[in-house]
Structure 1
Amino acid sequence: MSRQLSVIGTGVIGNGWIARALAQGWDVVAFDPAPEAEARTRAFVDNAWPSLERLGLAESADPARLTFVDSLEEAVAGADLIQENVPERLELKREILAAIDAAAAPGAIVGSSTSGFKPSDLQRDCRWVPGRVIVAHPFNPVYLLPLVELVGGEATEPDHIARAQTLYQELAMRPLVVRREIEGHIADRLMEALWREALHLVNDGVATTEEVDAAVVYGCGLRWSLMGTFLTFHLAGGEQGMRHMLEQFGPALKLPWTKLEAPELTDELIDKVVEGCEFQAAGRPVAELDRRRDDFLVELLDLVQKYWPEAEGLEGRI
């Protein structure tokens, strides 16, 4: 049975959803009122397609299955799954999600790609089937990274989450059901903590952007790719595992090493970060850096699958 994904908003994340769905053999209908949106999306898909081919395409995968339409109502007609990707402004998202809810078939699931808002807040203006409007937060590049955080709101029933899990699994994603709604969900809260600390290190002259990135790439990031945070620290405790690690290193948690409050984004700090990133990019266009990242991720995903097959069972309970 052919599936249809409808995408509202075709920035980087929306286009990532489009590329993933096309690679899985879905029909995709997109709406974005921005000038040149369709041209940008098709160029994005062309740039992503070689990596998707290496990862493995569905038999019916075809970029020609993408259609752009002139209205939101046209876009959501006939959709099994609708993905909202408009800018991260709560009032705007509420407005768009209410319009989607009013126009979509009752059985369609509506996922918001929001990285921070809670689903109950997003559902508030929906009058038709508010419970099917959930958070479905992916990670860039969406067409390669398989994790999607699913979060239900006050109006969401278990059946809504179950149907969402099935649909995202058909897109070859690994749904992680967040047990209760919280701003920033799970992964972004973790990334935000590291991001704030990284900004402090640059702001205080401890390290450049390149040096901070090297600390992650050649150190903790390699371990996190396989084991995440808790299992990595479990191994740090030796044969006694996490209990010994906490006994030995737990007191250090009280030491004032970190500065989790974000530093003020002064002009000086902004210049340091921008100049550091431009130095690291070395004049290479973003499309070239995207391809380099994608080649790496394809190989890395093969390794993760080889050494962590239990990743199949990430699903939680709402």
Structure 2
Amino acid sequence: MPSTTPAPCAPDDVRRIACIGAGVIGGGWAAHFLARGYDVTAWDPAPDAEPKLRRLVAAAWPALERIGLAAGASPDRLTVAPTLAEAVADADFVQESAPEKLELKRSLLARLAAATRPGVVIASSTSGYPMTDMQTEAAGPDDAGRLVVGHPFNPPYLIPLVEVVGGERTDRAAVEWAARFYDLAGKSVITMDRELPGFIANRLQEALWREALHMVAAGEATVEDIDASITEGPGLRWAFMGPCLTFALAGGEGGMAHMLDHFGPSLKSPWTRLAAPELDPALRDAMVDGCAAAAGGRTYADLVAERDQGVIDVLRATGRLGGPR
């Protein structure tokens, strides 16, 4: 779709970002943008949203300091607005991170488009809804045209990837603007040419997750076995080389062609079950109990700190740790 309303500023001129929704994802976005030197205004309807958000930013800040902060970056540049309208009044970009409920996303995105200055791009952190399904209540073409998906990974302040894609009513210029902005904001951007429920990475994660649930449900492996099979095996390769290139190396000098010719017949082997198993109480309890055992007495805060340091170490070791903008 051709652009009908120009953005009020270029991606490299963005100064203030509105983070709508201040939970784990929205708060993680706020921490990331603050660390990149932006002013951030947040809004969340929960009565205790502000103290929770400030605690999240404070907990993330040591990791962000180890990565390296942009000039002028400070948690003090965070403002929590009392209303949605005040949160977006001066925003150059809006990141929506409300709960994953379709009707809520539809109404909220319509409200944001009505309250935000004309042309300001509004991105949703949805984990899987196509923008076409979420932009149905936007009043006019100019409103719907600036709604895009900007799907991050948790925690957004450390995991580089963001998947960007528009809906049927989205201006292509808005998608390109968002992709350029995220790149300047220190993210690793995949700009998708077409919508796909769950996008790319979540569909791959979901396939692995469903097979893990099947193995636990059938008593074929424990939670600890499954996690170790990734962290001590292919996960070490996936941290710097994706599954396709990893498989290509399995073909030796013949590359992917030899790998497919040699291992192609195994695709018909019963190595995976992509249909989701029934998440009955027994399977749920097995997963919960298994994760508790794997935690080994470590608290949530302990695990978050360990994860954050681990991601930093992997990024640094593989030369992909971005510096301040």
Residue number in structure 1 paired with 2:262:
248
Q: Tell me which of 22, 25, 34 is aligned to 2:37.
A: 25
Shift of 1:158: 2.2
Between the aligned partners of 1:245 and 1:301, the Cα distance in structure 2 is 29
* 1:218-233 equivalent positions in 2, closer than 5 A: 218-233=232-247
Conservation of the 8 A alpha-carbon contact between 2:40 and 2:77: yes
Higher mean C-alpha displacement, 281-290 vs 257-266 = 281-290
Shift of 1:2: 5.8
RMSD, aligned CA? 1.4
Q: Tell me which of 126, 136, 152 is aligned to 1:114.
A: 126
Between the aligned partners of 2:315 and 2:60, the Cα distance in structure 1 is 16
Residue number in structure 2 paired with 1:163:
177
Secondary structure (helix, strand or coil) at the match of 2:42 reads: strand
Unaligned runs of 5+ in 2: 1-12
Higher share in helix: 1
1:63/1:38 CA distance change after superposition, 3 Å:
same
Conservation of the 8 A alpha-carbon contact between 1:83 and 1:112: yes
Residue number in structure 1 paired with 2:252:
238
Tell me if 1:88 matches 2:100: yes
Shift of 1:232: 0.3
Q: Tell me which of 57, 69, 73 is aligned to 1:45.
A: 57
1:93/1:167 CA distance change after superposition, 3 Å:
same
Conservation of the 8 A alpha-carbon contact between 2:14 and 2:93: no
Residue number in structure 1 paired with 2:19:
7
Between the aligned partners of 1:102 and 1:198, the Cα distance in structure 2 is 43
Tell me if 1:274 matches 2:282: no
Secondary structure (helix, strand or coil) at the match of 2:106 reads: helix
Residue number in structure 1 paired with 2:230:
216
Between the aligned partners of 2:172 and 2:317, the Cα distance in structure 1 is 33
Secondary structure (helix, strand or coil) at the match of 1:302 reads: helix
Between the aligned partners of 1:99 and 1:304, the Cα distance in structure 2 is 42
Residue number in structure 2 paired with 1:316:
none
Give 4+ residue runs of structure 1 displaced > 6 Å after superposition.
none
Secondary structure (helix, strand or coil) at the match of 1:148 reads: strand
Between the aligned partners of 2:313 and 2:154, the Cα distance in structure 1 is 16
TM-score w.r.t. structure 2 length?
A: 0.92
Higher mean C-alpha displacement, 104-113 vs 191-200 = 104-113
Residue number in structure 2 paired with 1:134:
148
Higher mean C-alpha displacement, 233-242 vs 153-162 = 153-162
Shift of 1:117: 0.4
Residue number in structure 1 paired with 2:204:
190
Residue number in structure 2 paired with 1:148:
162
Conservation of the 8 A alpha-carbon contact between 2:14 and 2:92: no
Between the aligned partners of 1:59 and 1:274, the Cα distance in structure 2 is 43
Between the aligned partners of 1:207 and 1:240, the Cα distance in structure 2 is 34
Residue number in structure 2 paired with 1:105:
117
Q: Deviations over 1:222-264 (max 9, x none)?
A: 1111110110000000000000000010111012221111110
Conservation of the 8 A alpha-carbon contact between 1:233 and 1:245: yes
Q: Deviations over 1:107-157 (max 9, x none)?
A: 211110001100111111112421111110000010001110001111222
Between the aligned partners of 1:81 and 1:300, the Cα distance in structure 2 is 30
Between the aligned partners of 2:14 and 2:92, the Cα distance in structure 1 is 10
| Amino acid aligned to 1:153 | G
Shift of 1:176: 0.7
| Amino acid aligned to 2:126 | T
Unaligned runs of 5+ in 1: 310-318
Between the aligned partners of 1:138 and 1:29, the Cα distance in structure 2 is 19
| Amino acid aligned to 1:256 | P
Between the aligned partners of 1:102 and 1:287, the Cα distance in structure 2 is 39
Q: Deviations over 1:51-92 (max 9, x none)?
A: 101111001100000001111111111111111111111111
TM-score w.r.t. structure 1 length?
A: 0.94
Shift of 1:40: 0.7
Percent of aligned pairs sharing the same letter: 51
Conservation of the 8 A alpha-carbon contact between 1:76 and 1:104: yes
